[in-house]
Amino acid sequence: MRAVDLNADLGESYGSFTVGRDAELIPLLSSANLACGFHGGDPRVMDRAVGACSAAGIAVGAHPSFPDLVGFGRRVLEASAEEVETDVLYQVAALDGFCRRHGVAMQHVKPHGALYNHANRAPEVARGVAAAIASYDPDLLLVCQFGTELARAGQEAGLNVAYEGFLDRAYNRDGTLVSRSVEGSVYHDRGKATEQALRMVTEGTVVAIDGALVVLEVDTLCVHGDNPRAVEFIAALRDQLDAAGVVLTSMRDVVQRRAGRA
C-alpha cells in the first residue's frame, strides 16, 4: 500500500503583516513547513504556528530562507557555503526552541524559495544546507527533489531525505521543474494536477512536458493555500488519494516505508 505526506508552507506572517490561510490548511495537511524569521515568521508567529500544528497533530518542520524579508526569500543571494550553513543552523535551532516549548519533536527541514531552488543546482549551497541539519540533529529529514544536488548533499551528509513532488508544475525530462516563465509550466487544471499527483505517488513516474516518462520518488506532495479554492482542492485531492488506496501519513512514516521497500 502506498503512502504520501501532504506539506505546505505556514507561519509566514510577520508582525502585523498577516498572510496565508493557516487555520484552514492545517486540518488538511500531515506536515507543515514553518518560516523561521528570515523571510517571514517572527517569534510570536513561530510560537503560535508550532502550537497550532501541535494541537492538530500534524508534524512540524523548519523552512529556513536566505535573509531577505523584503524579498520574501525569493531572490538568490550569492552566499558562501559557510553563510548558508550558519544561517540555516540559526533558523532551524530557533524554530526548535518553540518546538521544545510545545513538546513537539521537529520532523524535517525544507529550504524556502530561492534557497531551495538554488540548492537544487549549486553543490556548495546544497552542502551548506545539509551540513547545518546534520550538525543540529542528524535525525531530521531533509525535504528535496529526487535527483538534485540537494538530495545528493543530504545523503552524503548521512541524512534521510524526503522527496517532494509538485502536482501543479510541469517537469523536464531530467526531473527538474519547467521554469515558470515557460508556457504550460504551471497547471491551472485541477484534474491534471490530481492525475500527476496520483501517478507520482502510485507509480513513481511523471510525464515530462515533452512527453518523456520520468522515474522519480515522491514521499511528500507540496500544496499551496494561496486562495480559498485551494483549500477546496486539497480536500478533493485527499479524497482521491484515499480512493486510490494511498494512505496519508507523516513524512517520516512515508520515508520509513520507502526504506522498508528498498
Check binding of 98 to its own copies (CB under 8 A): yes
Closer to its own copies by Cβ: residue 98 or 171: 98
Taking the complex as a whole, how short is the minimal distance between the CB of residue 70 and its own copies, in angstroms? 4
**How many residues in the shown chain lie near its own copies by CB under 8 A?**
46
The CA distance from 58 to 83, in Å, is 31
DSSP-derived secondary structure letter, 37: S
Using CB under 8 A, which of 21, 24, 47, 249 touches its own copies?
Answer: 47
Closer to its own copies by Cβ: residue 134 or 201: 134
Check binding of 100 to its own copies (CB under 8 A): yes
Nearest to 29 by CA among 92, 110, 118: 110
Range in contact with its own copies (rule: CB under 8 A) among 25-33, 85-93, 162-170, 186-194: 85-93
Residues 6+ apart with CB under 8 A from 6: 28, 29, 30, 31, 220, 221, 223, 234, 237, 238, 248
* Contact criterion met (CB below 8 Å) for 30 and 249: yes
Question: What is the number of other CB atoms lying within 10 angstroms of the CB of residue 43?
Answer: 13
| Continuous segment of H or E residues that includes residue 213 | strand 213-215
Say which amino acid occupies 85: E
Check binding of 77 to its own copies (CB under 8 A): yes
SS3 254: helix
Q: Could you tell me the three cell numbers for 209?
A: 512536458
Check binding of 82 to its own copies (CB under 8 A): yes
Check binding of 44 to its own copies (CB under 8 A): yes
Taking the complex as a whole, how short is the minimal distance between the CB of residue 170 and its own copies, in angstroms? 23
Using CB under 8 A, which of 56, 69, 81, 208 touches its own copies?
Answer: 69
Check binding of 158 to its own copies (CB under 8 A): no
Residues that bind its own copies in the complex, under the rule CB under 8 A? 13-19, 37, 40, 42-44, 46-47, 67-72, 74-79, 82-83, 86-87, 89-98, 100-101, 114, 135-137
